[in-house]
Every structure is written in structure tokens, then in C-alpha cells.
Amino acid sequence: MTEREPVGYSGSTGAPTGASADPSQDPGEHTAPRYADRPIALRRPESLGGLLLILAGIAAGLSLLMDWLTGNDISGWGLVRAGFDDLGTIFDEGLWQPLAIVLGGGVLFLLGVLMWLPMRSHRFFGLLALLVSLAVTAGVLVPFEDADWDLGSFGPGFYCAIAVAVLGLLGSIKALVSGKRYPR
């Protein structure tokens, strides 16, 4: 046997000498497993990003129960119902903002739950959450600008809407910047 021959083979014929563990295996096949030349990313949950998105969804749910405007007895639920009743005129009436905030908060809640699944990277869900959070932020900034940046005209429901936008942006950015984690 020469130096370069694998153990269990003799001569130039390549015939097995009986040292093979599996006699039905073709002698020309490689039996050594393939190894990666770089570390494999760990599957892990995105805990902080997911928690922030779940909190954004909870804030959207709370905003349904509270009044959005001072001096006006209309809750978030009333605004959402009015928006669904007049879907053709939601942009004319300004009812797209409550719909964007509340429905966006529901989507952020679901994406936050998905962030807790172990994956190599949560960047795709982070990108989706960022897009939804930008729509929610637009839904918050438009009425805020219409009120000349005066927080006194808004009620606690709108403060929860602001929390949906802020928590959604923070959670989605956290998921986007968290890359793959490799074993040490």
C-alpha cells in the first residue's frame, strides 16, 4: 500500500480489502462528510425587536378603547368603524390615519410574534415591520401637523397611537440591524 491510498483499499485496482464499513457502497464514492469552511449561523429569536413590536400592537389595541381628541367623545373604535363605513372617502375625510395606526398596530403585533421564532436572520420581518411602521408614523404625523403641533388637542388614545409609531420604528430597526449570530 502506498502513502496516498485510503485505508481499506489495496493496489491500483481500488478493490476493497474488507476494511470498509458498508460493503454495498461503491468504492469510488467519498465517505467523508462535507464540512463548511465558515461557521454556520445560529437559529435564535429576535427577543428585543419582537417585544417592541408586540408592545406596539398592544398600544394600538389600547388606543381603540380611549378617546383620541379632547372635547370630542369619539374613541379609536368609533374612528375605525367610521373609516370602514366610508372606505371610498377615507382619504377625503381623514379617516385613513386611524385605520393605518390600528391596522398597522395589529400587523406589528403579528410580526412581533414571528420575531420570537428561531431563525438565522429576522431582517425580512424587520423590513416588513419598518414599512408598516412608516405608514403608522405617517398616520400620526399628518393629524399632528394639522393641529399645528399642539398636543393639547389630542386625548390618550392618540398618545397610544404615538407609542405605536415609536415602538414600531424601534422594534423594526432593531430587527434590521441584528445580523446573524455565529457560535464562539
Output Rg (C-alpha) for the chain, integer angstroms.
29
Contacts of 107 (CB under 8 A, 6+ apart): 132
Confirm whether 66 is domain-assigned. yes
Residue 31 or 76, more confident: 76
5-23 pLDDT per residue, tens:
555 555 555 555 555 555 5
Segment 125-179, tens digit of pLDDT: 999 999 999 999 999 999 989 888 888 889 999 999 999 999 999 999 999 998 7
Tell me whether residue 184 is in a domain.
no
Q: Write out 2-27 in H/E/C secondary structure.
A: CCCCCCCEECCCCEECCCCCCCCCCC
pLDDT at 162: 96
* Residue 95 backbone phi and psi in degrees, to 5: -90, 0
Per-residue confidence (pLDDT) for residue 74, from 0 to 100: 87
pLDDT at 25: 57
Q: What is the pLDDT of residues 59-79, one digit of tens each?
A: 999 999 999 988 888 899 999
Cell numbers 385613513 correspond to what residue? 96
Give a yes or no: residue 5 inside a domain: no
CATH classification of the domain holding 80: 1.20.140
Sequence-distant (≥ 6) Cβ neighbours of residue 133 within 8 angstroms: 56, 104, 108, 165, 168, 169, 171, 172
In a domain, 13, yes or no: no
pLDDT of the residue at 42: 72
Query: Is the pTM of the predicted complex or chain greater than 0.85?
Result: no
Q: What is the largest CA-CA distance in the chain?
A: 97
> Crossing angle for the helix pair 47-65 and 76-85, nearest 10 degrees?
80
Structural domain including 151 reads 47-177
